Amino acid sequence: MSPPSTESARLMVSESAKKLVQSLASNAEEGLSSEDAAQRLARDGKNVLQMAPPIPWWVRFVAQFESLMVGLLIAAAILSGFLGDWIDTVAILAIVILNAALGFLQEERAYQAIRALRDLSAPHAKVVRDDKLQVVAASDIVVGDLFQLEAGDRVPADARLIEAFNLQAQEASLTGESIPIAKDAAADLADDTPVSDRVNSVFLGTSVVAGKALGVVTAIGMKTEIGHIARLLDETRQEQTPLQKRLTQLGQILVAACLIIVAIIFVIQWLRGGKITEVFLTSVSLAVAAIPEGLPAVVTVTLAIGLQRMAKRNALIRKLPSVETLGCVTVICSDKTGTLTRNEMTVRRLWVFDAAWRVEGEGYAPDGGIFPIQTEDLDSDAPDSDAPDIDEPARSLPSAAPTSPPALERMLSCADQCNEATWNYDHESHKLEMIGDPTEIALKVVVAKAKGTHIQPYDSVLHENPFDSERKRMSRVVRYCNDELQMLVKGAPESVLAAATQIFIDGEVVPLTDAHRQCISARNAWMASQALRVLGFAFRRVDHSPEQWHREEELVFLGLIGMIDPPRRSVTDAVASCRRAGIRPVMITGDHPQTALAIARAVGIAGDQEKVLLGTAIVQMSDDELTQHVTQSSVIARVSPLDKLRIVQAWKRNDHVVAMTGDGVNDAPAVKTADIGIVMGITGTDVAKEAADMILTDDNFVSIVNAIEEGRGIYDNIQKSLHYLLACNSSEVLFMFVASLIGWPSPLLAIQILWINLVTDGFPALALASEPLGENLMNRPPRPMKEPVLTFERGRSILLHGLLMASVCLIGFGWVYMSDPERLAESRAIAFSILVFSQIFYAMGCRDSERNAFSIGIFKNHLLIAAALGSILLHFIVMSIPWTAEILGLAAMPWRDLPWVIALSLIPVSFVELRKYFFARQTVTADQATDVPSNAA
Ligand code: ATP
C-alpha cells in the first residue's frame, strides 16, 4: 500500500535562506539524516540553557535546623551540659539530629518526585529528518535541523525561517517588545540587523502567536540569543501552597497558646519545689511536644505521593496549590473534541448540491468506499452505528438531484489539498503513519477511499491562511500544474457559507440563492443532529497578486462532509460521578450546537430539555447578563476562545470554583483565569501548557474527574495527619498540665516527651498521609474554598481525643504513684508506655472520620501497619537495651504490668471507633426515617 496523497507541494525558498541551509550542510526539503543529527548532538551537546548549580545537600540538611523548636532544644541541650547532665545533652542532640535526618530524607524524596514529574512535561518539537516529520524532545534539536512551527508553539531554538505563512511571534521575553512581531521568511537582511528587527528569524524562548512556518536551526542552547543574555536560570523550589501557609499560621497560634500553658506548668512545678533544671527541661520539652513539628514534612510527603498517584492517572500538576483547589471544584468546563470524544474521526457522509454519499470502512485504512444514497434514504438513514441514539424530529429535506461527480471531485480535491495532515510510509515495516489533526487525517482517508475520483494534481502551495478557532476556517492558495491559481477553503459550514456568493452545481458556477443557503443549512443541521462534525468546502480562482491571497471572500461553495467522533469510553460514568460529587460538567465547544447537544446527551451532560447557549448570543450579552445565563446551560456551542474567558469569569462571579480545559494559544487567558486551568498534553500548545495548572497526558475528561478525586483524597489525608498529630500533642500537654494541677511531680521526663514526639508518633502520621483513597470521596459535595484547615468540629474532637489519651495516662501513672510515691520511676515508665501505645493504636482510628477500621479493612494501609509495628518494636527495643532504657528513664519498667498497660492504651481508640459505629447507625436510621438519599448531588 502506498500513501494515497497527491503530488506533494514544493517549497518556495528565498536565495539567502537557500545559501544558509547549504552552509549548515542541511537540506531544505528533507532535513538532516538521523545519523547526521545524532553526530551533531554528540558534537554540540544538548539544546538546553544552563541551570544554576543545585544547592549542595548539606546546605539543605542544615536548613532542617532552622526552626524555633530546634533552637529551643539546642538551648536546652547546652544548658544541661553546663549543669553537668551530659547524658541529657547527648540524648537531646541525638534526637534533634535524628529528627533532622528524617525530615531531610522525606523532603528530598518528595522534591525528587516532583522534579521527575516536571521532566515528564518537557517541551517537544516537530522536526523534519530523513524527509519525515518527527516529534523529538526540544533538547535533542541540533544546528541544521528543520523544524515546523504553528500557533501556540514555543520556539525550540534560534532559526532562520525558510517558509512562513502569516507568522507572528511574541518576543517580549527576548526584546521586551510586547506586541507580536510579523515575520517574513523572504526578507533579506544585513548580518548586523538587531535581534528585534530580524523578521526572517525566530528565537529560542519566544512563542508563536499566529500562523505557521518552517525554519532551519542556526543556534542551540547557550549559543542562542537568549543564551547570551540569560543569567543562569535558577531552579527555584516550589513556593508554599495556601494550605502549607495556613498550617504555618496555625502552628504559630498553637505555639503561642501552648507557651502560656507551659509557662503555667513551669511556675506551678517550680513553686512546688521542683529542681530548676528539671523543671526547665520539662517545660522546653513540653513546648516541643505542643508544636506539631512533624506537620511540614507530612504535608510535603502527602503532596508528593499524591502528585505521583495523579501522574499515574494521567494528570500532571504544574502548580502545587492546585492540588488543594481540586477538592473545591464545583464546575468543570470541558472541550468536546478529544476530551469528551475520542478524537478519532471517520468521515460518514458527503454531500454536494443535492446528492449524498455514505462512506464505509473503519480506521485509517483506505478500505471501504463511498456509495450514493438514494433520495428516499436520506431522511431515514442513520449515519453510523456509533452515533448516539437521538430522538430528533424528522426533518423535511429538499429533494436530491442526480449525483454530481464534478462537484464531488472538486470537494474531495479541496479536502485533500487544503489539508496539513501528512503520511509517513515506512517501506521496511510497510506501515502507514499519519501525522496531523484527526479532522484533516479523516479527510485524507476519505479521499483515499473514493477510489476512481480524479484529484487534480497541484504544483505548490503559495500561501496559507491557517485555521483558527475564531474564524473557524482555513484556506490555501495552490498553484496547479496548468499554472492556474486557486484558493481552497474549508471550515465550519456557517463560516464558509458566510464568505460564499456562488455555488458549484453540475459542473457550473451559479449564484448562491437564499434557497441554496436554506438547503445547505438544513443538510448541515441534519448531519449535526446525528452527532456528526460537519465541515463546509469552497474555492475561488485567484491571480498572482499576493494581496488577494488573504481575502477569503466571493467563494464558490462546494459541499459538506460529515464525520463521526464517538464519545470516549468511561466518560458517561465520569459524568455521573461528577454529579454525585456535586460537580457540574459543562461542555464548551467550537462545534455546531446540534453536534454538541447530541454528544452531550449521549454522555449524560445534557438532559432532554437542555438548551444550548450559543457563542453568538454570548457576544451580545453584557457581563451581568452572562452571569445570569451561564448557569442555565450545560452545553455552550460555537464558542470562540475569547468567549471562553468571559464564560470562566461569569461562572466565578456565581461563586463557583471552575476547572476549565483548553489547548490552543488563544485558550491561554481562560486557562489562566480558571481556578484550575487544564491543558491537553497531546493536542495542547506550549503556550497554553505554560498557563496551565494541570496537564492531562491522555487528553481525557475521565482523568480530570480522577484528579479531582485524588485532590480530595490528598486534602483528606493531610487533615488526618494533622488531626492525629494535634490530638497526640494535646494528650501530652493535657497529661502534664493536669498532673501538675493535681500536685504530682512531672509525670514524664523531657527526653521521653522528645522521644515520643519526634520519633514514635512521626511514622504513623506519615503513614496516615498515604491512606488509600476512600470510597466516599466522590459521594459528597465539594469542600468550600474558604473552609479553615481546623474547623470548630475538628478542633473539638481533637481535644476530646487528646483528653482521652491523657486520661488513660493519668490513670496508669496515678495507680502506681498513689500506691507508693517512692515508685515514681516505675509510674513514669508505665505512663510513658501507655502514651506510646495509645498513640500508635489511636492512629488506626484516624484513618476515616466516618467509617471504622474494620469496615475500611484493617490491613489496607500497609504502611500504617508497618509504621505501627515499627514504632512498637522500637519501643520494646529501647526498653530492653539497658543503656537506652537508662537514658529514656525506662529502666524501672515493671514488665508484669504490660497486659493492663496495653488494655488501658486500647481505650481511646475503642471509644473513637465505637462512636463512629453508633454515629453511622444513627445516620442510617435518620436517613431511613426521612427517606432522603444520603448522597443526593
Ligand atoms: P472543541 O472546542 O470541543 O475542541 P472543535 O474542535 O469543534 O471543538 P474548534 O477547533 O474551534 O472546535 O473548531 C470549530 C469548527 O471549525 C469545527 O466545528 C469545524 O467545523 C471547523 N474546523 C475544525 N478543525 C478544522 C480544520 N482543521 N480546518 C478547517 N476547519 C476546521
Q: What is the pLDDT of residues 909-937, one digit of tens each?
A: 999 998 887 776 554 444 444 333 333 32
Lookup: cell for 654: 456565581
Q: Give me the mean pLDDT over the 172-184 stretch.
A: 82
Ligand 1, atom 13, residue with closest C-alpha: 590
Flag the least confident range among 243-257, 312-326, 511-525, 580-594: 243-257
Q: Is 347 helix (H, G, I), strand (E, B) or coil?
A: strand
Distance CA 69, CA 297 (A): 14
Identify the band that residue 120 occupies on the pLDDT scale cut at 50, 70 and 90: low
184 CA distance to ligand 1 centroid (A)?
A: 27
The pLDDT of residue 39: 93
Flag the least confident range among 61-75, 181-195, 352-366: 61-75
The pLDDT of residue 150: 87
Flag the least confident range among 11-25, 32-46, 511-525, 572-586: 11-25
Which range has the top average pLDDT, 174-178, 437-441, 747-751? 437-441
For residue 596, pLDDT over 80 is answered with yes
Report which ligand 1 atom has the smallest distance to the Cα of 336. 3
pLDDT 10s digits, 285-311: 677 667 666 677 777 788 888 888 888
Q: Is 476 helix (H, G, I), strand (E, B) or coil?
A: strand
Q: Give me the mean pLDDT over the 27-52 stretch.
A: 86
Identify the band that residue 803 occupies on the pLDDT scale cut at 50, 70 and 90: very high
Identify the band that residue 5 occupies on the pLDDT scale cut at 50, 70 and 90: very low
**Sign of the C-alpha dihedral computed for residues 87, 91, 93 and 97 taken in this order:** positive
pLDDT 10s digits, 441-486: 999 999 988 877 778 888 888 888 988 888 899 999 999 888 899 9
Q: Give me the mean pLDDT over the 347-366 stretch.
A: 85
Name the residue of 333, 337, 564 whose CB sits within 8 Å of the most ligand 1 atoms, as the mutation to test its pocket: 337
Q: How many CA atoms lie within 13 A of 105 on its CB side?
A: 6
pTM of the model: 0.80
Which range has the top average pLDDT, 155-159, 241-245, 493-497? 493-497
Mean pLDDT of the chain: 83
Cβ contact 458:417 at 8 Å: yes
Exposure letters 637-664 (e unless 16+ CB within 10 A, then b)? bbbbbbbbbbbbbbbbeeebbbbbbbbb
820 is catalytic: no
Distance CA 612, CA 593 (A): 7
pLDDT 10s digits, 417-433: 999 888 766 666 666 67
640 CA distance to ligand 1 centroid (A)?
A: 10
Q: Which of 331, 332, 329 is nearest to 711 (CA)?
A: 329
Report which ligand 1 atom has the smallest distance to the Cα of 340. 3
Report which ligand 1 atom has the smallest distance to the Cα of 492. 20
349 CA distance to ligand 1 centroid (A)?
A: 17
Name the residue of 422, 527, 535, 552 whose CB sits within 8 Å of the most ligand 1 atoms, as the mutation to test its pocket: 535
- Concatenating the DSSP letter of every residue in 402-445 gives SP-HHHHHHHHHHHHHS---EEEEETTTTEEEEES-HHHHHHHH
Distance CA 343, CA 567 (A): 9
492 CA distance to ligand 1 centroid (A)?
A: 7
Identify the band that residue 374 occupies on the pLDDT scale cut at 50, 70 and 90: low
Share of the chain above pLDDT 70, in %: 87
The pLDDT of residue 931: 36
Q: Which of 335, 384, 693, 761 is catalytic?
A: 335
465 bridge partner residues: 475
The pLDDT of residue 134: 86
The pLDDT of residue 14: 67
For residue 811, pLDDT over 60 is answered with yes
Identify the band that residue 397 occupies on the pLDDT scale cut at 50, 70 and 90: very low
Which range has the top average pLDDT, 135-139, 245-249, 499-503? 499-503
Cβ contact 273:739 at 8 Å: no
629 CA distance to ligand 1 centroid (A)?
A: 24
* Number of other residues whose CB lies within 10 A of the CB of residue 794: 17
Flag the least confident range among 136-145, 693-702, 758-767: 758-767
Ligand 1, atom 29, residue with closest C-alpha: 491
Q: Give me the mean pLDDT over the 601-616 stretch.
A: 92
Report which ligand 1 atom has the smallest distance to the Cα of 440. 27
534 CA distance to ligand 1 centroid (A)?
A: 9
For residue 387, pLDDT over 60 is answered with no
For residue 390, pLDDT over 50 is answered with no
Residue scoring higher pLDDT (856 or 393):
856
The pLDDT of residue 815: 92
The pLDDT of residue 240: 62
Identify the band that residue 377 occupies on the pLDDT scale cut at 50, 70 and 90: low
Ligand 1 contacts (CB < 6 A) are 335-337, 437, 439-440, 467, 469, 472-474, 490-492, 533, 535, 589-591
Report which ligand 1 atom has the smallest distance to the Cα of 638. 14
For residue 550, pLDDT over 80 is answered with yes
Residue scoring higher pLDDT (316 or 393):
316
